[in-house]
């Protein structure tokens, strides 16, 4: 039976998967450890006509391409109720630009643009084959990626050129394969790499003039400035990772089959930030629970109800009582209710702790040559 959900697993298979994943330690179908990430192939700067681009291919065959393009746009000026012109420096809500980027000559420029960026300057578009762009999945994915990118408040400030003009950044995400597993980590990692390789042309004009840019691509600077020495102290775009729980176990980077039996799925966005002693720590920028596909799976039929296997035919009420008494112990039943607070706290810790999943992924991505 392949029910409505496109999960090609029978109740018996689901029950088997759920049991093996809730053992201690969990036995995953592909033999990974609970925190192990799938191997991936990545390359950046592949599209010549974009400001930055990247491609990632996961081992299960899912593949995504991201292109980042920037356009100059005229800013709207606002006059606030206090008579202050909006673009002149009303501080934004974000904590943007407080901890500054470690650039020497750009230092004062960085502080001057703090809090001036607007959230509408960033546009994320996601294309998934076989899905309309107003389906739940693309909407959710683009909302999640956008809010993670905007959460540290620095990216939008970097898009500010002068009081009259700003950059508009288009991040176009293309999933090339069918969404075999939940594509959020793949798209997020690809966006991360594309933004890291994004370069903006150097500005030649001064102050509030119409912006004029250097057409020498060698003179361009990175959107996320890259320092030469220690890579730890560098600002980086956030990554969004998927974590799921089965019983008491917490599993990172679930595959499609594992998601089909998840009790709860959480998407966590983290970004690296450096402590005063130059150690990389991860901070949580956004967190969302994801509707686990397991809730859409069909329940199994207990033997007592199965007339072909010697069960008796019962009335609907009696069958209901029997199913409720079973509590999903002998046959598969889609999970009900939510997740405990302590489990969510453990999930966050698994991703953000020193040497946790988040750090492992970021270190892996830092090895990709830009």
Partner 1 sequence: MQADRRRINAPAGGTAPPTFTFADHPDLLRRPTRTRKPDEHRKIFLRTGIVPSASGSAYYEVPPAKPAPSTGSLVPTSSSLKITCTVHGPRPLPRNAAFSPNLLLSTHVKFAPFATRQRRGYVRDASERDLGVHLETALRGVIIGDRWPKSGCEVVITVLEGEEDGWFGEGREKGGGWGMMSVLAECITVASAALVDAGIDCVDLVSGGTAALVKGEGGEGEAVVLDPAPAEHEVTAACVVAYLQSRDEITEMWMKGDAGDSTEGLMDQAVRAAVMSRTVLVEAVKEGLKVGGDVQPVNGAPKGGEGKGKDVDMTG
Cβ-contact 185, 65 below 8 angstroms: no
How wide is the angle at C-alpha 341 spanned by C-alphas 179 and 260, nearest 5°?
25
For residue 258, the tally of other CB atoms under 10 A from its CB is 24
Alpha carbon 46 to its chain centroid, in Å, reads 22
Mark 38-77 with x for binding to partner 1 (rule: CB under 8 A) and - for no binding. -----------------------------------xxxxx
4, 104, 217, 369: residue in contact with partner 1 (rule CB under 8 A): 4
Residue 39 is classified by DSSP as: P
> Which member of 63, 145, 152, 162 binds partner 1 (CB under 8 A)?
152
Q: Does 329 bind partner 1 (CB under 8 A)?
A: no
User: Using CA atoms, how far apart are residues 228 and 67, in angstroms rounded to an integer?
Assistant: 25
Backbone angles phi, psi at 44, to 5 degrees: -125, 170
Per-residue binding string, partner 1, 194-233, x by CB under 8 A, is ----------------------------------------
Which residues are bridge partners to 73 per DSSP? 166
Q: Report 282-301 residues binding partner 1 (CB under 8 A).
A: 283-291, 295-299
Does residue number 317 form part of the binding site for partner 1 (CB under 8 A)? yes
Q: Where are the beta strands (DSSP E) in 17-164?
A: 40-44, 52-58, 63-74, 122-127
Minimum distance, C-beta of residue 333 to partner 1, in the bound complex (Å) = 7
Of 167, 114, 171, nearest to 146 by C-alpha is 171
Q: Segment contacting partner 1 (CB under 8 A): 39-47, 52-60, 174-182, 343-351? A: 343-351
- Contacts with partner 1, residue ranges (CB under 8 A): 3-4, 73-82, 84, 86, 90, 92-95, 118-120, 134, 136, 139-140, 142-143, 147, 151-152, 266, 283-291, 295-299, 317, 320-321, 323-325, 327, 333-334, 336-341, 344-345, 348
């Amino acid at each position: 039976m392949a029910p409505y959900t496109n999960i090609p697993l029978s109740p018996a298979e689901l029950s088997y998967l759920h049991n093996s994943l809730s053992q201690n330690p969990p036995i995953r179908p592909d033999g990974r450890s609970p925190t192990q990430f799938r191997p991936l192939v990545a390359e950046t700067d592949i599209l010549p006509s974009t400001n930055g681009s990247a491609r990632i291919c996961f081992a299960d065959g899912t593949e995504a391409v991201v292109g980042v393009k920037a356009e100059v746009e005229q800013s709207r000026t606002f006059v606030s109720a206090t008579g202050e012109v909006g673009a002149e420096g009303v501080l934004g809500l974000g904590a943007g630009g407080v901890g500054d980027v470690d650039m020497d000559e750009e230092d004062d420029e960085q502080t001057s643009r703090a809090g001036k960026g607007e959230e509408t300057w960033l546009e994320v578009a996601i294309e998934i084959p076989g899905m309309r762009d107003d389906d739940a999945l693309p909407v959710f994915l683009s909302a999640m990626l956008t809010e993670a990118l905007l959460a540290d408040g620095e990216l939008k400030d970097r898009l500010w050129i002068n009081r009259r003009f700003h950059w508009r950044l288009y991040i176009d995400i293309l999933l090339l394969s069918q969404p075999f597993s939940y594509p959020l980590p793949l798209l997020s990692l690809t966006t991360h790499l594309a933004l890291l390789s994004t370069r903006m042309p150097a500005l030649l004009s001064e102050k509030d003039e119409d912006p004029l840019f250097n057409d020498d691509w060698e003179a361009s600077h990175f959107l996320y400035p890259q320092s030469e020495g220690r890579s730890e102290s560098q600002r980086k775009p956030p990554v969004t990772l998927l974590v799921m729980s089965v019983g008491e176990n917490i599993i990172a980077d679930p595959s499609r089959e594992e998601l089909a039996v998840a009790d709860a799925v959480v998407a966590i966005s983290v970004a690296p930030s450096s402590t005063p002693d130059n150690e990389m720590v991860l901070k949580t920028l956004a967190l969302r629970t994801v509707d686990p596909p397991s809730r859409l799976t069909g329940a199994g039929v207990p033997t007592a109800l199965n007339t072909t296997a010697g069960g008796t035919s019962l009335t609907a009420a009696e069958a209901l009582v029997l199913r409720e008494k079973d509590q999903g112990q002998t046959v598969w039943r889609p999970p009900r209710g939510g997740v405990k607070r302590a489990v969510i706290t453990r999930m966050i810790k698994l991703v953000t702790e020193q040497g946790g999943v988040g750090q492992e992924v970021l270190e892996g991505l830092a090895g990709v040559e830009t």
